[in-house]
Amino acid sequence: MSTILKGAVLGLANVVAVGLALGVVYSGHGMLAMLPVVLLFGTVPGLLAGAVIGALAGVSRTTTRARKLTLVLAALAAAVAITAMFGVLELAPVACIPTVFAALALERWTAR
């Protein structure tokens, strides 16, 4: 499986995790309340961002620590950009939590 596809898969998984996290933190209606909205608006940007970060993981030839830092920073930038794009920048801190884990999982999955 290519690093681009791995990034896209983790990007999609991250969208689901962000939807669940936002449901837990911001919704009084339960964990699944925000998931449909996040999936509706976040699936395409999440897949694209994941694919781009996966490509970055594929070409990165630095140390493990530098790769982790690069992928985490790129993923956090994407999360903030996506929330800003939809005018919900106040949701970025919660969205960044699962995003860090997805970026670290991508680094591990694509490690050489």
* Structural domain range at position 21: 3-109
The model carries a pTM of 0.90
Greater model confidence, 27 or 107: 107
Computed over every residue of the chain, the mean pLDDT equals 92
Q: Is 53 in contact with 89 (CB distance < 8 Å)?
A: no
Looking at residue 26, its pLDDT comes to 80
User: How far is residue 2 CA from its own chain's centroid?
Assistant: 18
The pLDDT of residue 69: 96
Q: Is the predicted pLDDT of residue 27 greater than 80, yes or no?
A: no
pLDDT tens digits, one per residue of 46-92: 999 999 999 999 998 888 899 999 999 999 999 999 999 999 999 99
Residue type at position 15: V
Higher pLDDT, 31 or 15: 15
Contact 57, 106 (CB under 8 A): yes
| Count: domains in the chain | 1
Mean pLDDT of 5-19: 96
Nearest CA-CA partner of 84 in 44, 42, 36, 51: 42
